[in-house]
Amino acid sequence: MTEILVVDDSKVMREMIVACLRVEEDFAFTHAASGLEAIEKLALKPFDLVVLDLNMPDIGGFEVIEFIRGQDQLQSLPILVVTTRGDEGSRARALGAGASQFMTKPFAPDAILANVRSMLRRDAAGSDE
């Protein structure tokens, strides 16, 4: 089972992301409504991928990325940022902090699924090395 943590303060957006990815029968989803909740869930169980919004009320997505990359056991965890921030500064900052991919909302369901599949394949290939 592939464990995916979906982090967004919008319940509707979390459900939309899950609906796009649910076509993969071996994906299991955990939701987090804030950056702080995401960090708590990351401490409790391992995940194979994180889908992360940048705009959240307590701890923002940039800080969550920095937290993940600062933890030895999470350094290779793939992070897909899905955000309304379409500016190059946000993209550069997220990728510079350690995000694996960056997408803007609204997104095409096939595009998010393709990104997740690609990131998981790369992660699996990297762990075989």
pLDDT tens digit string along 53-64? 999 989 999 999
Separation between Cα atoms, residue 114 and residue 58, nearest integer Å? 30
> Does pLDDT of 46 surpass 90?
yes
Strands of 2-7's sheet in order across: 27-32, 2-7, 49-52, 79-83, 101-104
The token duo for 106 is 């609204």
pLDDT tens digit string along 58-96? 999 999 999 999 999 999 999 999 999 989 999 999 999
Neighbours of 14 (CB within 10 A): 19
Dihedral (CA of 96, 64, 60, 45) sign: positive
Confirm if 66 and 105 have CB atoms less than 8 A apart. Answer: no
Separation between Cα atoms, residue 29 and residue 31, nearest integer Å? 7
What burial letters (b/e) apply to 51-60, b meaning 16+ CB within 10 Å?
Answer: bbbbebeebb
> Does pLDDT of 129 surpass 80?
no
Indicate the pTM of the whole model: 0.93
